[in-house]
Amino acid sequence: MTEFSVDAIRKGGKLALSRVLSRVEADDESGRAALDALFAYTGKAHKIGVTGPPGSGKSSLVNALAHHLRRSYPESRVAIIAVDPTSPFTGGAILGDRVRMPDLQNDPGVFIRSMATRGALGGLADATLSLSQVFDAAGYDYVLIETVGAGQAEVDIVTLAHTTIVVDMPGMGDDIQAIKAGILEIADILVVNKAELPGADQTYRNLVLMIEMGYRGTGRINGGHHRLTIATEARSIEPEGWLPPVLKTTALTSQGIAELEQAIHQHRAYLQASGTWNAKENSAIRQTIDKLILKELSENWKKTLPAGLYETVMQSVSQRKLSPRAAARALLAYNSE
């Protein structure tokens, strides 16, 4: 395996970057070393999550947004991490998000990396955060992270992204769907994509209503203004609050994409002004540290178990002689003696 070089990656070497992404994704020794070395250079990129149900147009929206960012800010570079599901049966995956990103394929300032979930639930792969850190260290200004088609509970993106965009489309359900817990709650920006389709206004109204219900009584909704301007007005009423704007887009014709870009930058300004930018970053890092501690502890501890003990206990559990909790206690107790 080629030695990775922080220098090559920082200077924009795509081959070096691409190979390190693979090592980091595989979570092997060289990948871990690379991530450790690169971490010092992270903390600058704006990480933007794009999530929503399958077929709502996430990839097309990412395509249009990245294209728009590159045209509006030619100096900036955009990385895209597109996550698709791994088959639970074969371990294989078809990663097809590139098909929807034709405008970016000849742009040297855009780097698209497809990623399979490799068994992770929650809408991302285990290594998605790490990959976003590599892009951050490599000097990419925006990291757009497209989750797998999400239902109601795949909300991991919210801990990873500074700004979470939830994409909905007409005909996905009535106003009861809109007030359920889960995916709509995590939005910093709500987008009704395919806004040219019939029913788009209805979907838009449902989402605005949902936002309004969530914030009523906080003194931040002022009269009947349900447009992008609610966010701006709400800020002037209560500076520390952010009211998710609801936007209409048609990704395929780039309708509404400029407004989406504005909302993203407004959100960034809000995060930075309120100190939430660092708080978000730090809570993601805290989670990573906790996860790594748990992982090391359990790996090290498992090594101290006598061979075959785990399987013996497992047999008792499958014969229903022990409950899983009792089994876990028994295993832990064995080791502490």
Partner 1 sequence: MPEKKIRVLIAKPGLDGHDRGAKVIARALRDDGMEVIYTGLRQTPQMIAEAALQEDVDVVGLSILSGAHNALVPYVLEKLKENGQDNVFVFLGGIIPESDIPGLLAKGVTKVYGPGTDTRVVCQDIRAALADRA
Residues that bind partner 1 (CB under 8 A): 14-15, 18-19, 21-22, 26, 86-87, 90-96, 98-99, 102, 105-106, 111-114, 116, 118
Give CA–CA dist 75/268, Å, rounded.
18
Show the DSSP H helices in 189-256 as ranges: 200-215, 229-237
For the bound state, the minimum distance from the C-beta of residue 47 to partner 1, rounded and expressed in Å, comes to 18
Would you say 1 or 237 has its CB closer to partner 1? 1
Would you say 100 or 248 has its CB closer to partner 1? 100
- Measured N-to-C along each axis, helices 257-274 and 229-237 cross at an angle, to the nearest 10 degrees, of 20
For the bound state, the minimum distance from the C-beta of residue 89 to partner 1, rounded and expressed in Å, comes to 8
Would you say 83 or 178 has its CB closer to partner 1? 83
For the bound state, the minimum distance from the C-beta of residue 96 to partner 1, rounded and expressed in Å, comes to 5
Give CA–CA dist 47/44, Å, rounded.
9
Would you say 286 or 291 has its CB closer to partner 1? 291
For the bound state, the minimum distance from the C-beta of residue 14 to partner 1, rounded and expressed in Å, comes to 6
For the bound state, the minimum distance from the C-beta of residue 107 to partner 1, rounded and expressed in Å, comes to 10
Would you say 111 or 277 has its CB closer to partner 1? 111
Distances (CA, A) of 277 to 81, 132, 160, 161: 21, 16, 12, 10
Say whether 30 sits in a helix, a strand or coil.
helix
Q: Which of 307, 303, 311 is nearest to 327 (CA)?
A: 311
Give CA–CA dist 162/264, Å, rounded.
10
How many other C-beta atoms can be found within 10 angstroms of the C-beta atom of residue 25? 20
